[in-house]
A and B are shown apart, each in its own frame.
Chain A
Amino acid sequence: NAGVMQNPRHLVRRRGQEARLRCSPMKGHSHVYWYRQLPEEGLKFMVYLQKENIIDESGMPKERFSAEFPKEGPSILRIQQVVRGDSAAYFCASSSMADTQYFGPGTRLTVL
């Protein structure tokens, strides 16, 4: 049983470009969460989605960031016009109901 899959594992973007991070939840899981781990800041919640719905986006920056979890396919975290401060590890987690979350390996974004 495959765990949570994230790709790419490493992503390099220049300032102003777009970054797309993908997350495929564990089989049977319909709840997806995104967290960001900034250097020296720890892990912070960004957004919680179910299929086709955003449940809680209280941790998402107001501009440039968006997330979706379509009926078919992976969840996507999209960062437009990236800046150096967006460099971080982005982790996706999934759960079957609103309980225990299992994490993917993360995408490490570097903005040059």
Chain B
Amino acid sequence: AQSVTQPDIHITVSEGASLELRCNYSYGATPYLFWYVQSPGQGLQLLLKYFSGDTLVQGIKGFEAEFKRSQSSFNLRKPSVHWSDAAEYFCAVVFTGGGNKLTFGTGTQLKVEL
């Protein structure tokens, strides 16, 4: 079955430290991959996306993600976290051939310690 897994429900990092949020998917082909961020009481903001091509993609707010086909992963990274990055992060996938609906992971809540 097609699925998206974010294994870390909560992550706490110190401001200025590096960050990596994990995302894995289960699918026989390469899907379209997205990372969204949600601040409390707000909607979802697109951070970055991968459709094809260069497997390292740059997004907004200093985030990047790397697609690794062999590991079915699309991990989100940031070299130095800012307190304003505290939010919930969602990995989302469009499984090609199944319409354009997004399948979301369960989210990772990021807390930033000052």
A residues adjacent to B (C-beta < 8 A): 4, 6, 31, 33, 35, 42-45, 48, 55-56, 58-59, 91, 93, 95, 98-106, 108
Contact = CB atoms under 8 A, between A and B. Distances in A.
A100 B49 contact: yes
A105 B43 contact: yes
Contact of B101 (A6, A56, A104): A56
B103 A105 contact: no
Contact of A42 (B34, B100, B101, B107): B107
Contacts, number: 60
A42 B106 contact: yes
B104 A59 contact: no
Interface string B10-38: 00000000000000000000001010100
Overall SS of chain B's interface: strand
B46 interface: yes
A48 B46 contact: no
17 contacts: A4-B43, A35-B104, A42-B90, A42-B105, A42-B106, A43-B92, A43-B104, A43-B107, A44-B104, A45-B101, A45-B102, A48-B99, A101-B102, A103-B36, A105-B42, A106-B42, A108-B41
A106 B32 CA distance: 24
B43 A95 contact: no
Interface residues of B, number: 22
B45 interface: yes
Interface of B: 32, 34, 36, 41-46, 49, 51, 90, 92, 99-107
Contacts of B104: 35, 42-44
Closest 4 CB pairs of A and B: A98-B100, A103-B44, A45-B101, A105-B43
A56 B43 contact: no
A91 B44 contact: yes
Contacts of B42: 105-106
